[in-house]
């Protein structure tokens, strides 16, 4: 049986991954049906994709393959799909899960591009969105694709790579055929949560680098933040998620951290926050400079701190993550970002 692939979400990353998937589908006609239904929220975006083969808001003039067929009808898009790529901000997920659960094939594999994270009600543990997806979609298998992927460069057909976390090895061949192309390379790991959390936690360090950028500081400070951030993320993965720190050496780890801290949207937003001198909120700045995009970065800083603050001694063990929160949300001086860089560092 040929797999039916669908995409849910028409933002920047969802759009470039949809292009990758369309190329993978075209290269493997024996494995996949040759049309990819694609759910987008706005009718005018669906019309533009189908008639002009572009998504100009996010990808400019980059051509979208004919295989991609956009619609605002989520039920029709997802009906009977055996691979579903979900590219929505985490806070919007609750609006679609019930319908997806009814429409998707019972054995559908879910590929998450979500880089948001949340904590449970008593702030005692992080709840990965792969867990939210599995619970809301009748325990269908979930994979996560994370990596150093600047969407503008991918839209220009420049090479990129990513890591896919998927505990079900039997699904790996299908995922490789779907996503591995001459211009997009994927490595697969069984550590789903480790891959996913690298993508989420690096967003906290991008905010830290943006704070330094907003102060006008240069590459030495950025390098120190990246190094310290990687050490704290590795410690967090081991302590709170039970993951091997070695995942940090993958594209979803060091690759994504280095890229995002140099060219990511989160660091640009944090720089604007510092330059505004606290006179504008994160949501106001997001509306002003992010072209309609919603970033998980500053929300992730909040959620990580909720967990650290609830665990005795954790803010002392993770001084960079904690101080980033205090600067972003408690009015601490941006220059205080240097303090955790002088603290004793975790070990790999």
Catalytic residues: 202
Query: 308: which 2 tokens?
Result: 């650290």
In sequence order, which residues have a C-beta less than 8 Å from that of residue 226 and are 6 or more positions away? 205, 209, 257, 258, 261
Greatest CA separation found in the chain? 59
Cβ contact 214:188 at 8 Å: no
Phi-psi region of 331 (alpha: psi -120 to 50; beta: other; left: phi over 0): left
In sequence order, which residues have a C-beta less than 8 Å from that of residue 239 and are 6 or more positions away? none
Distance CA 342, CA 233 (A): 17
Query: 250: which 2 tokens?
Result: 């993958």
In sequence order, which residues have a C-beta less than 8 Å from that of residue 41 and are 6 or more positions away? 10, 72
The three-state secondary structure class of 158 is: coil
């Amino acid at each position: 049986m040929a797999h039916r692939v669908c995409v849910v979400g028409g933002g920047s990353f969802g759009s470039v991954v949809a292009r990758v998937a369309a190329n993978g589908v075209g290269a493997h006609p024996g494995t996949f049906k040759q049309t990819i239904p694609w759910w987008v929220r706005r009718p005018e975006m669906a019309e533009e994709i189908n008639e002009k083969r572009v998504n100009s808001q996010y990808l400019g003039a980059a051509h979208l393959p004919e295989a991609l067929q956009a619609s605002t009808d989520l039920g029709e898009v997802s009906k009977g799909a055996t691979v579903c790529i979900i590219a929505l901000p985490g806070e919007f997920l609750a609006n679609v899960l019930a319908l997806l659960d009814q429409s998707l094939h019972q054995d559908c594999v879910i590929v998450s591009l979500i880089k948001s994270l949340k904590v449970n009600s008593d702030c005692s543990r992080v709840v990965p969105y792969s867990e939210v997806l599995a619970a809301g979609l009748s325990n269908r298998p979930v994979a996560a694709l994370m990596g150093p992927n600047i969407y503008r460069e991918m839209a220009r057909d420049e090479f990129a790579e990513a890591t896919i976390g998927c505990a079900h090895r039997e699904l790996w061949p299908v995922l490789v055929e779907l996503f591995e192309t001459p211009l997009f390379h994927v490595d697969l790991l069984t550590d789903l949560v480790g891959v996913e959390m690298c993508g989420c936690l690096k967003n906290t360090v991008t905010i830290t680098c943006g704070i330094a950028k907003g102060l006008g500081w240069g590459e030495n400070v950025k390098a120190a933040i990246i190094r310290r951030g990687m050490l704290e993320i590795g410690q967090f993965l081991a302590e709170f998620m039970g993951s091997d720190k070695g995942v940090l050496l993958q594209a979803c780890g060091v690759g994504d951290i280095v890229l995002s801290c140099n060219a990511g949207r989160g660091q640009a937003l944090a720089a604007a926050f510092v330059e505004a001198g606290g006179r504008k909120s994160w949501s106001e700045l997001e509306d002003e400079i992010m072209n309609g995009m919603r970033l998980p970065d500053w929300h992730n800083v909040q959620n990580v701190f909720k967990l650290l603050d609830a665990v005795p001694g954790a803010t002392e063990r993770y001084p960079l993550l904690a101080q980033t929160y205090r600067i972003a949300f408690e009015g601490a001086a941006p220059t205080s970002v240097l303090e955790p860089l002088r603290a004793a560092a975790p070990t790999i």
